[in-house]
Copies of this chain bind each other. A is one copy, B any other.
Amino acid sequence: GEQIFVGQYLVERLVQLGVTKMFGVPGDFNLGFLDFVEDHPKIDWVGNCNELNAAYAADGYARVKETSLGVVLTTFGVGELSAINGIAGAFSEHVPVLHIVGVPSTSQQKNKPMLHHTLGDGRFDAYYRAAEQVTISAASLESKDTAAAQIDRILTDCLVMARPVYLMLPTDLAYERIPSYRLKTPINSNPPDNDPDVEQFALDEIVKLVQEADEDVIILADACAIRHGVKQEIAELVKRTGFPVYAAPMGKTAVDESYERYGGIYVGSISHPDIKEKVESAKLILSIGALKSDFNTGNFTYHIPASRTIELHSDHIRVQFAMFPGIGMKRLLPKLTTRLQPFHEGAKQISVPPFVFPVPQEDNDIISQSWLWPRMGQFFRPKDIIVAETGTSSFGVLEVPFPRGAVFVSQILWGSIGWTVGSTLGAALAGVDLGYKRTILFIGDGSLQLTVQELSVMMRSGVKPIIFVLNNKGYTIERYLHGMERKYNDISNWKWTQLLDTLGGQEGKNCLSYLVRNKSELSTLLDDPTFAAADKIQLVEMLMDPRDAPNALKRQAELSGKTNRYVAELPSGVGEAV
C-alpha cells in the first residue's frame, strides 16, 4: 500500500483535525520534522521567540478553536522544559494541547551518549517523567510499527479529555516509512457513550428534583462547559426551558452574555449582591462544567448545599449526593433539554436582573478601575475575542457584559502571568480562521514584562490585536495581597509605546502606539473609528494609580489574606484552608 513518513503522518493527522498553525522553536532534534511542517500547504509554522510563549500560544489557539487542538513543537530538554509551565496551565484549565518534542534518535536513546541538552548522567527519560506530571497522556515513539497507533492514541486522549498530551519524536523515526492507510479512519474525538440505564435513571432523578423545586431552578455554566464543547447544548437548554442562567468567572461567555435570560457572573461572596441573592436562593442549581477553584468561587464561598445542586461534568454527574461515574454531559444535555422543556412556563416566571455595568460619573479624570471596565464595555463589539491577564485586568473585566458572540480568554485557575501575550497570539490566529474580527488584550505592566518578545511574533504573523497595557507601576494585585509599599512589588518603567517599533514593527506603518493619561484621552481614542477598526496592531499605554484595584479584587484579597499567612502576628488557625 501507500507509504508515508512518520513525521508526515503526524502532520496529516493534525491537518485532519483542523490545526492550521504550529507553534514552537526550532532545535537540532526537531529540524528534520520541521521540514514536513514547512512544506505542508495547510499548516503554517509560527516560529515563536521562546518556548514558553509558544506553549501559551498553542493554549490560546486551542481555546478559541474549540473543536480542534493547539500544537507546540520544541526540542529535547532545553526547549520542552522551557515550555512545561505552559503545558501545566493547559492541564489545569482543561485545554487540549499537543506538545511534540524532537528528541535524539532511538539508537542514541539506547546508547545514551552525553549529548548536548542531556543532564549529563545518562538519564534520557527525565523530561518524560517531568512531562507526565502535567499531561493526561504521553508517548515516546520507539518503533515505526507502533508509531501511528501511539500518535492516534494521544490525539484521542487530548481531544476527548481536553487536556495536554506529550509526544517524543526521535530524529530517525520522523523519517521512517509506514503504511498510510490508517489516515483514512478519522481520529475519534467524541466522548464515550453513556450507559443508557444509568443515564435514564439520572434524568428521572433530575426531573423529580426540578418538580420538587417548583421549577425554581437556575443554571450555572462554568469552565468545562466551554472546554468540553457543550456551549451549543447549553444554548439549547436555556432557550427551550427558559431557566435563568449565570456563569462562573471561568465560564464567562459559555453562554452568550447578551441573552435575555442571562444574569451575569456568580463568584460566591464576592458576587454582585443581586446576583448572589438570586443564585443562592434558588431551590435548585444545575451546574454545568464546574471547576471550583479559589478565584472562581470567591475563595470557596458558594453558599449552596449539595442537596440543592446537580453537577454535570464531562465524565460524570452528581445529583445531590449521588455520583454517576461515566455519565458525560455532552450526551446527556440534549436529553435533559427535552425532559425539562415542559417546565418552560414556570421557568419564565423567574425574574433575572439585567446584567449591566453602567459607567459611573466620577469627578476626576484619572483612569480609575471603577470607570475603566464599564467604559470598555461600550467599546466591545460582537465577536470580539477579549483576553484578560491575571491581575487587576482579569478581575476588572469580569463584570462587564460582553456583546453577542464575544469570547472571553483568561486563566483564572492557573494564573501564570505573561500567559496572555502568547495566548493572544494564538487566539488571534485561531480567530482569523473562524472569522472573529478583533482580539483585545488587557495586560498589566508587570505581566507584559515576562513575555514581551511575543509582540514581535504577532507582527510577523500579521495579527492585529489591540493591546491595553495598564501602567500602574508594578504588581498591584500583589500589593493588595501583601506588601502594599514593598519594593519587591515595584517594576522598571519601560517606554511601552516604543515596544512595537523596537520589536520589529514600523511605528505609524504597520503598528500604532498610544499613551493615554486620563479618561478623556482614553475615551477619545476608543471613539475613534480608525482605532476601533483594528486594522493594524495597536498598543495603548494607560496611566493608572498603583493603589487602585477593581472591587472584586479587593474583596478577593481580603478573603485570600485570611488563608495565606504572611506575617507572624496572625493568630494561629487563620492560616487554615477553607
Determine whether the beta carbon of A418 is less than 8 Å from that of B50.
Answer: yes
| Max chain B Cβ within 10 angstroms of own Cβ: one of A110, A119, A171, A486 | A119
Determine whether the beta carbon of B47 is less than 8 Å from that of A114.
Answer: no
- Counted per complex, copies of this chain come to 2
Closest CB-CB distance, A35 to chain B, in whole Å?
A: 7
Assuming the A-B contacts A92-B118, A293-B120, are A32 and B576 also in contact, with contact meaning beta carbons closer than 8 angstroms in the complex? no
- Among A60-68, A400-408, A452-460, the stretch in contact with B: A452-460
Determine whether the beta carbon of B502 is less than 8 Å from that of A494.
Answer: yes
Interface string of A40-58 (1 = CB under 8 A from B): 0000010101101000000
Assuming the A-B contacts A34-B486, A575-B105, are A413 and B116 also in contact, with contact meaning beta carbons closer than 8 angstroms in the complex? yes
Determine whether the beta carbon of A414 is less than 8 Å from that of B78.
Answer: yes
Determine whether the beta carbon of A504 is less than 8 Å from that of B498.
Answer: no
Interface string of A473-494 (1 = CB under 8 A from B): 0010010011100111111111
In the complex, what distance in Å separates the CA atom of A474 from the CA atom of B346? Answer: 66
- When distances are taken between beta carbons in the complex, the residues of chain B under 8 Å from A487 are 38, 45
Determine whether the beta carbon of A293 is less than 8 Å from that of B31.
Answer: no
Determine whether the beta carbon of B105 is less than 8 Å from that of A92.
Answer: no
Determine whether the beta carbon of A565 is less than 8 Å from that of B172.
Answer: yes
Determine whether the beta carbon of B293 is less than 8 Å from that of A47.
Answer: no
In the complex, what distance in Å separates the CA atom of A305 from the CA atom of B314? Answer: 61
Closest CB-CB distance, A456 to chain B, in whole Å?
A: 5
Selected from B113, B127, B412, the residue in CB contact (under 8 A) with A578 is B113
Closest CB-CB distance, A105 to chain B, in whole Å?
A: 5
Does chain B have a CB within 8 A of A309? Answer: no
In the complex, what distance in Å separates the CA atom of A259 from the CA atom of B161? Answer: 63
In the complex, what distance in Å separates the CA atom of A27 from the CA atom of B416? Answer: 10
| Max chain B Cβ within 10 angstroms of own Cβ: one of A28, A499, A577 | A28
In the complex, what distance in Å separates the CA atom of A414 from the CA atom of B79? Answer: 11
Specify the chain B residue showing the minimal Cβ separation from A478. Answer: B26
- When distances are taken between beta carbons in the complex, the residues of chain B under 8 Å from A456 are 449, 492, 494
How many chain A residues touch B (Cβ–Cβ < 8 Å)?
A: 110
Of residues 105 through 119 on chain A, the ones whose CB sits less than 8 Å from some CB of chain B are: 105, 107-108, 110-119
Determine whether the beta carbon of B565 is less than 8 Å from that of A113.
Answer: no
Selected from B45, B81, B172, B291, the residue in CB contact (under 8 A) with A488 is B45
In the complex, what distance in Å separates the CA atom of A107 from the CA atom of B574? Answer: 11
- When distances are taken between beta carbons in the complex, the residues of chain B under 8 Å from A107 are 575-577
- When distances are taken between beta carbons in the complex, the residues of chain B under 8 Å from A567 are 32, 35, 175
Selected from B130, B133, B175, the residue in CB contact (under 8 A) with A565 is B175
In the complex, what distance in Å separates the CA atom of A29 from the CA atom of B294? Answer: 14
Determine whether the beta carbon of B481 is less than 8 Å from that of A492.
Answer: no
| Max chain B Cβ within 10 angstroms of own Cβ: one of A85, A92, A453, A565 | A85
| 6 new A-B contacts at CB < 8 Å, known A81-B84, A105-B564 | A5-B568, A35-B566, A78-B415, A126-B134, A495-B501, A502-B502
B-contacting residues of A (Cβ < 8 Å)? Answer: 5, 25-29, 31-32, 34-35, 37-38, 45, 47, 49-50, 52, 77-78, 81-82, 84-85, 88-89, 91-94, 104-105, 107-108, 110-120, 123, 126-127, 129-130, 133-134, 171-172, 175, 177, 291-295, 300, 412-418, 449-453, 456-457, 459-460, 475, 478, 481-483, 486-495, 498-499, 501-504, 560, 563-568, 570, 575-578
- What are 28 A-B residue pairs whose CB atoms fall within 8 Å in the complex? A25-B450, A26-B475, A31-B483, A38-B488, A50-B449, A52-B52, A52-B82, A77-B85, A78-B416, A78-B417, A82-B416, A91-B120, A104-B564, A105-B563, A108-B576, A113-B300, A114-B291, A114-B292, A114-B294, A115-B293, A115-B294, A116-B293, A116-B294, A172-B575, A456-B492, A492-B503, A494-B502, A498-B501
